Every structure is written in structure tokens, then in C-alpha cells.
Amino acid sequence: QRRWHPARARAMMTPRGGLGSMNKRKTKAPSKAKTPWVVRAAQAAGWTPSPGVAGALGWVQALAVAGVLAWLTLTFVLVRMTVPTGSMAPTIAVGTSFFVDKISYHFRDPAPGEIVVFWRTQADGRRERLVKRLIATGGQLIEIRDCDQFPPEDCGLFVDGAKLTGAAFDRAYHTVGGLRTQQWTVPPDHHFVLGDNARVSEDSRFWGFVSRADVIGEPFLRVWPPEQFGFMNGYFGSAP
């Protein structure tokens, strides 16, 4: 009968080649995936940068990637806008800054009552971004009954004969030039927009309709002033 010996047990537990062999097996060559591609490109071209230079190249690569991602986001996804006038007061005050969602309208059409941002071409050819509330779309008949000349229950906005109601339209509207009423028929692929502050806003009453192709998107996140930070324009239950 064989007797158990501690030295024999240690020999059985230790693989051939000893512990040093185990350590060698655990050591792996540096992964190429962890090497910045700019460094790998330099090595492929026959130049091997020093560790310090390689680290600097890695930072340059990270900053370049971040810059490209930021450009793509601001070009195709979001844009920040600051409002210079009070045409949308009190909904959007002078100096308010917000981000505009440029994605949603690629999957659906703007709806009456939503606040939209769009391009408008000035008489001198300059293009400027404006923000107004969408009132009617292509093919609809819009009528304004001046709230200074009609009782509250009879004044306001009427689209195809029906009065627009709800929080988005709960304000006084006025015609241009003191007329009791004004009417427009919106052309196809165009929109009729108004500012919430109807007494001071220059909008479709003055310069006509907004082409659907000129619509940029809809505001969704107010970032200035800080005390008003949050979602807006109906996003996630916010006020319209």
C-alpha cells in the first residue's frame, strides 16, 4: 500500500514546467484592438512611435472622433436656438434658449398646435431661423376673427369652419389692419404659422406661408434660463 507524502502531493498539483510555466501561459501579447488606429496606421507605414507619442496620438484620435460625432449630432439630430424677440411670449420669452428635435418630422408631419422652427428667406436673400406655432396645413381654410371686435366665445382661430380650442390656442388673436376677419387657404405642402403674442408677432399674416421643406424641427428641451430648464412643446407631458 502506497503512503501519501506531502512532497508527492505538491508535485501532482504543480503542472509540468513549474509555476513559472503557469505564469508564462497567463501572459498575453498586447491586443491590437487597444492600440489607437492612428498608431497602427503609423506602424503599417513603417514608423513606430514612442510610447509618449503613441499616447498623444490616442488623445488626438479621441478628440477627432468626438468632434465628428458632435458635428453629426448638430447637423442631423439637434440644433440649439436662442429667441431674440417676444413674438412667442409668454410661451417663449425673449432670450430663451432651447434644443430643436430635427428627427421627428422625418417620420411624421407637423400637427396644428405644435411649435415649429423653420427657415424664412428675407427680401435681401438672407435666411433666418424663426419659431412660431403651426395653425393650419396644406388645403385648409384658416380664418381669424379679431378678439377686439368679437365676444370671447366668437373670436379666435377657425380652421375649415371649426374653432381651434385647447391650451395651445388659449389666447387672443388679432387680424392685420383692424379688419374684423381675415381668411387664407393654405397651399399644398405649406403651413400657416402665428406667434403666440399676436399683437407684436410678424408671421403668416404678413409674409405668407411656410414651405414644408423649410421646416427644421420642433423645440423640445428648454435650457435657458436655468429656472425654466425642462421639456417643452408637449414633450413628456410638458405644456404645449
Report DSSP letters for 114-166, one per residue: -EEEEEEE-TTS-EEEEEEEEEEETT-EEEEE-TTTS-TTT-EEEETTEE--S
The answer to whether the beta carbons of residues 168 and 240 sit under 8 Å apart is yes
pLDDT at residue 22 in the model: 47
Split at pLDDT 50, 70, 90, the class of 62 is confident
pLDDT at residue 16 in the model: 54
pLDDT at residue 1 in the model: 52
pLDDT at residue 55 in the model: 79
CB within 8 A of 137, min separation 6: which ones? 109, 110, 112, 186, 190, 191, 192
Average pLDDT score, the chain = 85
CB within 8 A of 112, min separation 6: which ones? 134, 135, 136, 137, 159, 164
Split at pLDDT 50, 70, 90, the class of 225 is very high
Cell (9 digits) for 162? 371649426
CB within 8 A of 143, min separation 6: which ones? 157, 158, 159, 161, 181, 182, 183
State mean pLDDT over 190-207.
95
pLDDT at residue 232 in the model: 96
State the DSSP code for 214: G
The answer to whether the beta carbons of residues 218 and 101 sit under 8 Å apart is yes
pLDDT at 24 over 70: no
Q: How far apart are CA 185 and CA 143, in angstroms?
A: 9
Split at pLDDT 50, 70, 90, the class of 36 is confident
- φ, ψ for residue 20 (rounded to 5)? -60, -35
More confident residue, 15 or 45: 45
Question: Whose CA is closest to 115, among 131, 99, 103?
Answer: 131
Question: Whose CA is closest to 164, among 131, 188, 199, 140?
Answer: 140
More confident residue, 4 or 146: 146
pLDDT at residue 19 in the model: 47
The answer to whether the beta carbons of residues 137 and 112 sit under 8 Å apart is yes
Other beta carbons within 10 Å of 122: 9
CA 95-144-189 angle, 5° bins: 75
What 3-state DSSP class applies to 81? strand
pLDDT at residue 63 in the model: 74
Percent share of the chain, pLDDT over 90: 64
Q: In the chain, how long is the greatest CA-to-CA distance?
A: 119
pLDDT at residue 76 in the model: 52
pLDDT at 77 over 60: no
Query: What is the residue type of 131?
Result: V
Percent share of the chain, pLDDT over 70: 80
- Span of 36-40, 124-128, 180-184 with lowest mean pLDDT: 36-40
Half-sphere exposure for 198 (CA within 13 Å, toward CB): 21
pLDDT at 222 over 90: yes
User: How many residues does this entry show for the chain?
Assistant: 240
